[in-house]
Amino acid sequence: MKTKKINKVLIANRGEIALRIIRACKELSIKSVVVFSEVDINGVWVRKADECYPILGDPIAAYLDFDRIISLAKKADCDAIHPGYGFLSESAEFAQACEDNGIIFIGPKPEHIALFGDKMASKVAMRAVGVPMLPGTDEPIDNIDDAEQIACDIGFPIIIKAAFGGGGRGMRIVQNAEEFKEMYESATNESIRFFGRGEVFIEKYLKNPRHIEIQIIADKYGNVLHLGDRDCSIQRRHQKVIEIAPSPLLNAAVRRELYRVSTKAMFKLGYESVGTIEYLVDQDDNFYFIEMNTRVQVEHPVTEVISGIDLIQRMIAIAEGDQLKFLQEEIHLKGYAIEFRINAENPKLGFAPSPGLITNYLAPGGPGVRLDSMAYTNYQIPANYDSMIGKLIVSALTWEDAVRKATRALDEFLIEGVPTNIPLHRQIVRDQDFIDGKLDTGYLDTKLQHFNLDAIHNMEDEETKMQQITGIINAIKANKLNVRH
């Protein structure tokens, strides 16, 4: 049963996620349209789309100007808009504007985007449907004296979080009462700078928990399923670096309860489309709700690999009004998948973004290796956006084999011209705690003290090999080396 067939989709995004959506559309015989900023004119996704339209002016504002985007969608006769992740993907106002203009928004209903975009309201709603919560505030706080009293009542350590933000911005851990005021001011100032509002909420802080998320998929008819879990514990400054599906060491009973609680909550709230419920799991296997992401996640490929389900295509089908074509017991999760976020960043400068020209690009391949990337040789990485240029995903039937495959694939991966975090990933997969699956949110902070950041930054091995190859070629050309044909 379908309400409307989608024939043409405008992709209101850029980079690897835009390319990912284009590929999903092509397999469904759906035409794809992209908008692009001036600095993205050479983006591979611009070349791959069926149609493309520039939005001139500020490179970031180009992807946020939803009046212009909707106008272009109508001009191009698009049935629907897919927002990808970031930018307008969690804008209830944008989703509503699409509906008001007769365009299908490929994602959740505007009211659910609004609900889960409000961290206070989402906590109240999720608690009401039986989802466990950390001790903390249910309403935004904008008074430092009230905030300090609440923190003392909860008991230190606590964490301050921006009430209307995300991505680790406006977040501070406070170990004791003496440092509270300084941390509160720092958190609120950052929140105002990035989100335009300074309200925060306060929660009990769990030291080095695991960060576990559950992938949900739901149609318009009350069918709600899960597609397993992901471990996103390897983070730096609250930003995910590596994601794993499923979590290597999650207790089986806890896993089943996470699935039950998550699907029940989404059924009761009438959620539809894909979504991700994120939790913290403490050392005693208690789990607590953090937030709900009402969009496709950066890490969605690891779930696709172990489930065999194309999440982008399912989003489109649900938006068309299609019912889910499978039952929970028909979903068979198979093996392990690991995703490595490949960022153009400089470890010697505190992992600062390092845009520039990619002078050489050699991608890994082989069985069990997937690469979602917009990078190529002579691609100019713009300075205007996030530093992520791609995602390397590996998979195998066992955790041990997945780690071995990751080691091999990372060793094959070569990007020159800009520093990247590939060598950091190479050290992580060789670390014994990672090999043993002993992961928590403090993992990378601890390991960075022992990893050699100078070694992370250089590409000496690759350069040596290239020099050897060049020497051989020059010797052949000079007839100084006999080569048997």
Catalytic residues: 295
- Please report the beta strands in 413-467, taking only residues with DSSP state E, as ranges in sequence order: 414-416
287 φ, ψ to 5°? -120, 150
Tokens of 95: 């989703």
Sheet of 210-218: strand order equals 287-293, 273-281, 210-218, 224-236, 239-245, 336-343, 388-396, 369-373
Structure tokens at 227: 């597609």
d(Cα 387, Cα 351) in Å, to the nearest integer? 10
E strands in 303-349: 336-343, 345-346
Token pair belonging to 122: 């989402």
d(CA 394, CA 456): 21
Closest to 369 (Cα-Cα) out of 305, 313, 432: 305
**Is the CB of residue 215 less than 8 Å from the CB of residue 314?**
no
Q: Are strands 8-11 and 80-82 parallel, antiparallel or unpaired?
A: parallel
Write down the number of H helices and E strands in the chain: 17, 22
How far apart are alpha carbons 351 and 341 in whole angstroms? 13
DSSP string, 342-363: EE-EEGGGTSEE--EE--EEE-
Q: b or e along 78-117 (b: 16 or more beta carbons within 10 Å of the residue's beta carbon)?
A: bbbbbbbbbbbbbbbebbbbbeeeebbbbbbbbebbbbbb
- Name the residue type at position 39: V
- CA 195/CA 189 separation, integer angstroms: 10
> What angle, 0 to 180 degrees and rounded to 10, lies between the N-to-C axes of helices 422-429 and 399-412?
150
R_g of the chain computed on alpha carbons: 23
